[in-house]
Structure 1
Amino acid sequence: MKDHAIEVRGLTKRYGHRIAVDELTFAVPRGTIVGLLGPNGAGKSTTLRTIVGLLAPTSGEALIDGVAFSALADPASHVGVHMDGFGFEAGISARRHLEICRLASGAPRSRVDEVLAEVGLTADAHRRVKTFSTGMAQRLGLATALIGSPRTLVLDEPANGLDPDGIRWLRGFLRDFAERGGTVLIASHQLAELEQVVDEVVIIRRRALFSGRLDDLVTRDSDTLESRYFELVEGASA
């Protein structure tokens, strides 16, 4: 088993004459939480979507457990995904949504109750998704990502809509997941919150501006992830 759960190697994605990602390279070590950061339009969503097989790279590659997503024999056991644009059928219950996902992933029937409990939605299992708050929908999205018992999670802004208690819960959940050997790649604009949970950061603006341990980025007492992020992003050409 390789040391990296995710590897992005020389990834380039073009849309006509526009370059969304340009020769991007980074790795996500197993058992870590890695934050993917960058301003709007920096290529974060393109990168995540390429990693999980929703987009084909123009050149380069994105690997999960050493192979492209399309080559994974049982993808739900390798990676769970929660991203903007992954909507729910509003008229069905949370339980029904997860049951459909369970059947698609080949997970055992017991997994539905397990993930509902993991994300704190057991009492709301029979509510229709259209009645959910944004924070509850985020928890349901995380439950969906977990349904196949994956070793790696790829999450896009999972704290959006969560109240302070929910954000604290998410932080604890992700840390526990990593301590049990799981890996998390998380894209977020909430820099102060990310600083409390990530082990490593990847800052991009089409290319990688920094990729490494948080401690190697925030080296001075006066440094914060936010201050170093803006130094790098504002110093990079648009």
Structure 2
Amino acid sequence: MTPVIEFDGFTKHYGDLVAVEDLTFSVRPGRVVGLLGPNGAGKSTSLRGLLGLLRPSEGQATVFGVPYGQLDRPAQAVGVHMDGLGFETGITGRRHLEICAVAAGVPRSRVDGVLAEVGLADAARRRLGKYSTGMKQRLGLATALIGDPDLLVLDEPANGLDPEGIRWLRQFVRSFAENGGTVLLSSHQLAELAQTVDEVIVINRRTLFAGPLEALTADGRSLEDSYFDLVAGEEPVRA
């Protein structure tokens, strides 16, 4: 089975600074995979490399077997929501998604369906400057979905969501995978990840663990305890 995502010796140096080194892991179709690591571990560098926003010093990262920049219709293959990306606050949620639909090459008629899917139909005509943090997170997910992609790459998608919103996000991600999609999500909310993901990638500038969630917690410990012990030891573990 061809991986949806594959990192093969992915390395990024900034002068003498090593951001990530020899990252190697893959993500299979139909799986929800959590990307974990402490601050400065290289999660953002990894995601940016995957999405063609930076070039590796060595190795490569591919989606659907090719570098992101070689995808014919990237927005229809990969939906992206990156933490920290801002919105034009003077336009409405609907207008934002209409612009995204044109950029993605999909009909504007898709906007209404995506707004309903993320629970923002009633706020569609509200200016983004009036959106709460949680509403902006939902809009970010709607932006990722506008091209009807097969893969979602989500960076800290639960930030700013209340417990009900987090529960909704978990159900949405699971439903997306059950319908044949694949999800790679980066998050610091370990307890929530344990209820959401099938597999876990733990990095700290290099790959420390890549495999099923149950392999990381097989000794009965929580994901949190296993994760912190792994990062503290910094010794790669094979699933």
Q: How far, CA to CA, are the matches of 1:28 and 1:227 in structure 2? A: 24
For 1:176, the equivalent position in structure 2 comes to: 175
Displacement after TM superposition at 1:27 (Å): 0.5
CA contact (8 A) 2:202 2:210 kept: yes
The CA distance in 2 between the partners of 1:72 and 1:135, in whole Å, is: 31
Under a length normalisation based on structure 1, what TM-score does the superposition of the two structures give? 0.97
The CA deviation at 1:64 is 0.5
2:232 counterpart of 1:234: yes
Q: Give the percent of matched residue pairs that are identical in Structure 1 and Structure 2.
A: 63
Match of 1:83 in 2: 82
Please show how residues 7-26 of structure 1 align to structure 2 within 5 Å.
7-26=6-25
One-letter amino acid of the structure 2 residue matched with residue 123 of structure 1 = D
SS at match of 2:200: strand
Question: Residue in 2 aligned with 1:185?
Answer: 184
Q: Quick one: distance in 2 between partners of 1:94 and 1:55?
A: 29
The Cα of 1:86 is off from its aligned counterpart by: 2.0
TM (normalized to structure 2)? Answer: 0.97
Q: Over residues 94-151 of structure 1, what are the superposed CA-to-partner deviations in whole Å (9 max), with x where a residue is unaligned?
A: 0000000000000112210111011000000000001111000000000000000000
Counterparts of 2:71 and 2:37, CA distance in 1:
28
Measured in 1, the distance between the counterparts of 2:176 and 2:167 equals 14
The separation in 2 between residues aligned to 1:29 and 1:105, in whole angstroms, is: 25
Question: Shift of the alpha carbon at 1:87?
Answer: 1.4
- Which position in structure 2 is the counterpart of 1:209? 208
User: Residue 44 of structure 2 aligns with which residue?
Assistant: 45
Mind listing any 5+ residue stretches in structure 1 that lack a counterpart?
A: none
1:186 aligned counterpart, secondary structure: strand
C-alpha displacement of 1:84: 1.9
Q: Deviations over 1:182-225 (max 9, x none)?
A: 0000000000000001000000000000000001111023x111
| Structure 1 residue 3 displacement after superposition | 3.0
Rounded Cα–Cα distance in structure 1 between residues aligned with 2:108 and 2:143: 14
- Count of residues paired in the alignment: 235
